[in-house]
Chain A
Amino acid sequence: MKNKNLISSADFVYRMITYNLRIIFANKFIWFLAGSVLFYLGLSVIYVFDNDVTRMSDLYGVFIFSGILLVFYPAVFGIQNDQDSRTIEILFGIPDYRYKVWLVRIVLIFLIAFIIMLGFTYLSSVLIVKFNIFTVSAQVMLPVLFLGMMSFMLSTTIRNGNGTAVVMIIFGLFFLILNDPLRRSMWNVFLNPFRPAYDVSETAWVIITLKNRIFLSVGSVLFLLAALYNLQKREKFM
């Protein structure tokens, strides 16, 4: 009996993942995936040929932007795609649609992004410079998670994929511009934990990095809750 339940649950999870991937991977996502891979490969090659000494900390930026490209399309255009295909009204009729449909999809997106990130880091670790792929992947995924959840929340507020994309690009540029002035601040979204600021002691840097990671995690959770709250206001999506 127990085995049967286990098999039944495994089948359920497997099918849920495959069906949602069919929905998420439809249409344009494959282009963003290709773009992310090309971006990673291109930048890595350029970096290797440009620099005499290769450091893992310099590859952090490459990983982050590849990760952002992976989550950008599904997080920003997920709601819009359902609106365009007119499935949104049917989904609203499903009890707890917010969790069963969109929470599952957003979690799946980040899981897929993490797996692909492990692939990228493994390649870099083997071909360029050796490092711990799990540590680096986990560290890279935090700002990606923050920006991805922010995009998702904005997509439920703006309810238009193109509008959300524009706003997220503006925010992204804003955070990028602040990267240097906030180089030793816990509020820096693009803080590189593997490259301490030159004018900060090691102890202080560890504390700053820890606070920064807490800020990114808490922010991600808040964005997710806000998005789930926005998804209750069904009329605005019609």
Chain B
Amino acid sequence: MMEMKDISDIIFSTGPGNIHRENQEKRITVTYNFRNEISGSKDLLDGARQQIESAVASMSIPSGLAVEVIHEKNQLKDFYYLIGIAFLLIYMILASVFESLATPVVLMFSIPLAALGSLIALILTGNSLLNANTLTGFLILIGIVVNNGIILIDYTNILRKRGNRRQRALMTAGVARLRPILITASTTVIAMVPLAMGKAEFVSVIGSSFAITVVGGLTLSTLLTLVFIPTFYSGLENSIGWFNSLGWRNKTVQIALFALLAFIIYTYINGFLWKMITTILSLIIIPAATWFVMNSLRKARETVIGGEESIKIRVQSLVKIYDRENRWAREWKGGARIRERLGLSHHFRSWSDLMDIAWQAPLLGFTVYFTYFYLRKGLWIFIFSIISWFFLLGIWNCFRELFSNLSGNGSHKLLKKISRWLDVAVFWLVPLVNLAWFQKRWDNIVVVLIIGFLWFTGMFIYWTGRKMSEENIDIYRLEGRFRNIRKTVYRIVAAVPLIGKKKKPFKALRCVSLDIGNGMFGLLGPNGAGKTTLMRIICGILEQSYGKVWINGIDTQLKREELQGLIGYLPQEFGTYENMSAHEYLHYMAMLKKITDPAVREERVTYVLQAVHMDEHRHEKIGSYSGGMKQRMGIAQILLHLPRILVVDEPTAGLDPRERIRFRNLLVELSRERVIIFSTHIIEDISSSCNQVAVLNKGMLRYLGKPIDMTREAEGHVWQFAMPAADFGAFVGENLVVHHMSEGENVRVRVISESSPWEGAVKVSPNLEDAYLWLLRKKENNHRITDTGNGKKQRNEE
């Protein structure tokens, strides 16, 4: 054996580890990067590029060498070109098949959803985002994901051609096509899963990132297709319809703006992807911004109803429910209730019923494996552990229902105990285990404690809110130990949205229908009858839950802002600016009501102050006024500018009889040319001033008609007699005594009763007050008030 140095001369030198050749010529690559602020601006980028080129041009290069400056070396440029062509070809095919330019846009909306899904999947699994593998996967994905939308929209179009409305067609197509969509998607996904679950990013040419792209993109796209595609389809049609309904001026401005933006994007934005994104964004934002501006800036128009037309208000089947759930929750629960009614909902009464949810077990197993064994990144582990916990809670709810049903009749007591322990374990212990596991993985006690605090606080709020709703806890009537602390905790919990205490819906108006024309219209009813609710809905302060209000055929829900110019409203409880004097306040109100001329305004302010007898106090601060004087201020401000519909809610409350009568007379005079809706507790106000009266009780209309006809309702039910004073105490507790007067040892009583309440009782003619009490006393039933055409309303059985 000999050493190399004995038989040769060894020369050590340095050189490149690899020699690249292109077309048999050696090549080296020198890379350069710009700072962020240079890349952020096209002008600076162009300037910098020019500097590079001139620097290279000024270099003395030996012969035999060639230098090429390449500004954006992008190995993946070809892929973008291929993706672009794919888009175009797919669009052409879909447009020709569906014979529409808009429908392919809807169908191809699945592609960004798929891109999102792929992105999330790649980030979750810690793979790199842009390489040949993932872009190949994306190319294939483009063709696959549009299938779901095609299946859905094709059937929707068929149903629409058969005469179905758009919403009905979409819902029916969704139900019918759910199975084929899920089957096709899941077979593709499941076939890709073995390759996706592999650890190697590259398995010969393609690898797990290719499969993850397809799996992630197809999964999210399929799930969202069932929600987004019908929504987008419906929404795009509405948007195009709205755009077509605009005036030519509006359309021209929008198109011009879009053209301008497109020019700016082409000139100033660099990068093909950014150009595309900003163009699409401009296409969406311009009409959206126009709609937003048009809706934000809607103005009141008195001319929406002609000056010569008399006003007619029609209230049709008005229902108002306070504290009802939002639209989404209502639709969801509505579906659940339909399933319950049809007997399709799952109930767990025996062990065999669990077969309905058996499919969730392997999915839970996979979720647990994926969360606790597969994922590496901390944030995704945290998110998926929460998802797994919710999933487990969902499955446990089914088991809890089963255990509760099995142990309901007193048997299986052990099962009942186990159920309670498991409830605590799943709800409280599993999060603790999760936190311990986070600490083991991350070794960061601060973060774990913060997460734990937030998690357990949320759980505590949810649990307390549920307890408050189920046990109907009244915060203000708590008893027992630590009353104050519990009250504070409950108040905080009730204030938390979503997971805090659920509000109980309250029906304030139940299907009220009436017509109101020119003149005084009285609203009568006890406290909580729904008078203020009805008035506020007519004035647009509140939105109705169901039903319609029409003013001369105009739907108030569509043209609310425009109609505000016609309506004046004096609320039941109102405040004023107490640091202003009456003079200043009324001038301010007059200016808000468009009385711009100072002389006219001064004259008007003086007139209304005299009308309410406040002229001598005009320069005193409103804060120094009594309650009655403040009430008169409210009346004064409404008299400033008399709109064609005047709604006054208990305006005479707090006024002395003289002022009340004066105000009533004033309203009657004003009612000749306008609609005045007037609510009160005082019967005399109705009898002496109103053309029509409606009696409301507990949200239902009890009577609608003339005041004089209302007395006939109580005909034959008003009795007068004398009874011994000793028996009066017991009698008054059980009967409706209108009034009584002592007459020696007897008491003379006036009673409202179905039949004779006492021996010797005599029927007397009822007055309006008797009729009112009689109407309120009637039992609630499903009676509808209809107009018989002779000014009297009668009840019809439903």
**Chain A positions near chain B (C-beta within 8 angstroms):** 8-9, 11-12, 15-16, 19, 22-23, 26, 85-87, 89-90, 92-97, 99-101, 184, 200-201, 203-204, 207-208, 225-226, 228-229, 232, 234-235, 238
Contacts and interface: CB of A to CB of B under 8 A. Distances in A.
Given A225-B292, A229-B295, A87 B44 contact: no
Given A22-B584, A96-B564, A207-B44, A89 B296 contact: no
Given A204-B38, A204-B41, A16 B577 contact: no
Interface string B593-604: 110111000000
Interface in B587-625: 587-589, 591-594, 596-598
A19 B592 CA distance: 11
A234 B541 contact: yes
B271 interface: no
B458 interface: no
Contacts of B598: 8, 11-12
Interface residues of B, number: 50
Contacts of A234: 540-542
Given A200-B37, A235-B542, A12 B574 contact: no
Given A26-B579, A207-B41, 14 more contacts: A15-B587, A16-B591, A85-B575, A86-B573, A86-B574, A89-B573, A90-B574, A90-B575, A93-B539, A93-B570, A94-B592, A95-B594, A101-B592, A204-B38
A184 B542 contact: no
Given A94-B592, A100-B592, A184-B37, A19 B580 contact: yes
A228 B597 contact: no
B300 interface: yes
Contacts of B379: none
Interface in B317-360: none
A228 B591 contact: no
Contacts of A23: 577, 580
B296 A235 contact: no
6 contacts: A8-B597, A16-B591, A22-B580, A26-B577, A89-B571, A229-B296
B564 A208 contact: no
A238 B572 CA distance: 13
Contacts of A89: 541, 569, 571, 573-574
Given A96-B300, A96-B564, A229-B296, A235 B584 contact: no
Contact of A15 (B297, B536, B591, B594): B591
Nearest to B35: A199
A19 B588 contact: yes
Contacts of A87: 574-577
B452 interface: no
B483 interface: no
Contacts of B20: none
Interface of B: 37-38, 41, 43-44, 292-293, 295-300, 302, 536, 539-543, 560-561, 564-565, 567-571, 573-580, 584, 587-589, 591-594, 596-598, 634, 637
B307 to A, nearest CB: 16
Contacts, number: 115
A104 to B, nearest CB: 9
B577 A95 contact: no
Contacts of A100: 592
B579 A93 contact: no
B48 to A, nearest CB: 11
A11 B545 CA distance: 45
A11 B600 CA distance: 13
B44 A204 contact: yes
Contact of B575 (A22, A86, A200, A232): A86
Which 10 residue pairs spanning A and B have beta carbons closest together? Answer: A95-B300, A86-B575, A93-B569, A85-B575, A95-B565, A89-B571, A19-B588, A229-B296, A204-B37, A225-B296
Nearest to B539: A93
A233 B543 CA distance: 9
A96 B299 contact: yes
A104 B540 CA distance: 22
Given A87-B576, A234-B540, A203 B44 contact: yes
A207 B598 CA distance: 50
Interface centre among B302, B571, B594 (most CB of A within 10 A): B571
Contacts of B564: 93, 95-96
A238 B541 contact: yes
A184 B35 CA distance: 12
Contacts of A201: 37
A117 B229 CA distance: 52
B37 A12 contact: no
Contacts of B578: 85
B645 to A, nearest CB: 11
Contacts of A26: 577, 579
Given A22-B580, A228-B297, A229-B292, A235 B543 contact: yes
A125 B634 CA distance: 50
B631 to A, nearest CB: 13
Contacts of A97: 592
